[in-house]
Each structure stands twice: as structure tokens, then as C-alpha cells.
Structure 1
Amino acid sequence: MKEVIAVVRMNKMNQTKKALTDAGIAAFFAHEAWGRGKGLVNAEVAAAAAAGNQEAAEILGSKGKLFAKRMVTVVVPDEKVSAVVDAIAAANKTGKPGDGKIFVLPLSDSIRVRTGETGACAIE
């Protein structure tokens, strides 16, 4: 069992939901998130701006801001991971910086609260 976490653009959420549904994944979570990629900010300029250097702050401008994103979480059996990753990647790929990230993490167990079912039974 794996947890797939994807950080995607806000304007790609409808395509992401459709892609997951088309891949046979009906259950997932979507959370509001804020963040930015490392490529958008020069670390030295950001450090100088944080230290109070006005010129650095002006150079940094809006590039130091955090941007609204969506974080999608899906828990699936191991055999469905590649379908989930492929669906999310296809729905979000524009070829430009900011397309997002996908993380795959192992899960040791899951429990359906209503019935007490555990493991794969709890997520299917």
C-alpha cells in the first residue's frame, strides 16, 4: 500500500480530478497548500532581503512569495501506483516550471473507521 502525494497548480485541479477518476481512482483528498519551487528565487538575494537589505528586497520582488497550490493525496494498493502517478503527471504537465511534484510513500496500514477493516480492504 502506498500514499501518493502530488502538489499541483490550482488551475489544474479539475483536470487532475478527471484524470484520477478516468484511471479508476474515486477516493482521494485535496488540500489547499502554499509553496514555491527552488528555481524561482536566488538564494543569496532572498537571504539579503530577509536580512533587511532594501535593494535585495526590490530585486526579489514578487518572486519570494508563496503561490497557491493544491496538494492531492491518494492511498492505493501497490499495483495502482503507476496508474495514479501517470494520470496526475499527464493532467498537470505543461513543460514549464511550476508543473508540480509527485511523491510516493510506503504505508504500513490503513483502517476503515466505520467497519474496522484494515489493510487493502480499508482502501478498496
Structure 2
Amino acid sequence: MKEIIAFIRSSKMNATKKILDELNVSSVTAIPVLGRGNQRGLNPVLAGIDISKDAIVKGNITGMKFVPKRMLVIVAKDEEVNLIVDALVKVNKTGFIGDGKIFVCPTDNAMRIRTKESGDTAL
């Protein structure tokens, strides 16, 4: 089992829910979060400026501290992970700064509280 943690644009939630439903991903947790990435929360398109990676690294550019995103948490069987990750990338990629990030982490076990089923059966 793997845990997939994805940070995506809030505006992409409906498209993301649709593709996860098409893949029969039945269990997803979505949480509104605030955060920032390497660009420090500054959107160069809205600001009308060109941001070089060197300027950001040197701390010469400051911007909004946090950007609203959605954090999705999905626990999936090992054989489903690549399909889910590929679908998340496909629907969320715009090519612009702030598209998000996906993390895949190992999950040792899962347990359904009601029935005490564990492992893949609990998913």
C-alpha cells in the first residue's frame, strides 16, 4: 500500500474528483490548506514580472506568504499508484508555476475500524 499526498490548485478540484471517480478511487480525503513552494507564493503572471530562479534562491523577491491549495490524501494498492499519479498529473498540469506537488509514501497497514479488516482488504 502507498499513501498519495497531492497538493493541487483549488480550481482543479472538480476535474480531479471526476478523474478519480472514473478510476474508481473510492476513498479520498480533501483538505483546504495554505502553503507555498519554491516561488515563495508569488505568481509572476499576476505580478507582471519575470522571476528568475536565482532571484528567488537569493531571497531578492518576496511575495505572498501562503497560497490556498487543496491537499488530497489517497491510500491505494501498490498496483494502482502509478495510474492514480498519472491521472493527477494529467488533470492538474497547466505548465505554470503553482501546479502543485505529489508525494508517494509507503503505508505499512490499514485497518477498517468497524470490521477490523486490515491490509488491502481495509481499503
TM-score, reference length from structure 1:
0.81
Q: Which runs of 5+ in 2 are unaligned?
A: 43-55
| SS of corresponding position for 2:111 | coil
**Percent of residue pairs identical:** 43
**Map of 1:94 onto structure 2:** 94
**Map of 1:83 onto structure 2:** 83
| SS of corresponding position for 2:88 | helix
1:120 has 2:109 as partner: no
Structure 2 Cα separation of the partners of residues 71 and 15 of structure 1: 15
* Structure 1 residue runs of 4 or more that deviate by more than 2 Å after TM superposition: 39-46
- For residue 94 of structure 1, what is the amino acid of its counterpart? T
Considering only aligned residues, what root-mean-square deviation do their CA atoms show, in Å?
Answer: 1.6
| SS of corresponding position for 2:39 | helix
Larger radius of gyration: 1
Deviation for aligned residue 1:45: 3.7
1:13 has 2:13 as partner: yes
| SS of corresponding position for 1:30 | strand
| SS of corresponding position for 2:108 | coil
**Structure 2 matches for 1:99-110, cutoff 5 A?**
99-110=99-110
Structure 1 Cα separation of the partners of residues 21 and 5 of structure 2: 16
Structure 2 Cα separation of the partners of residues 45 and 38 of structure 1: 11
Q: Report Cα offsets for 1:50-90 as digits up to 9, x if no partner.
A: xxxxxxxxx63xx1320000000100100000111011111
TM-score, reference length from structure 2:
0.82
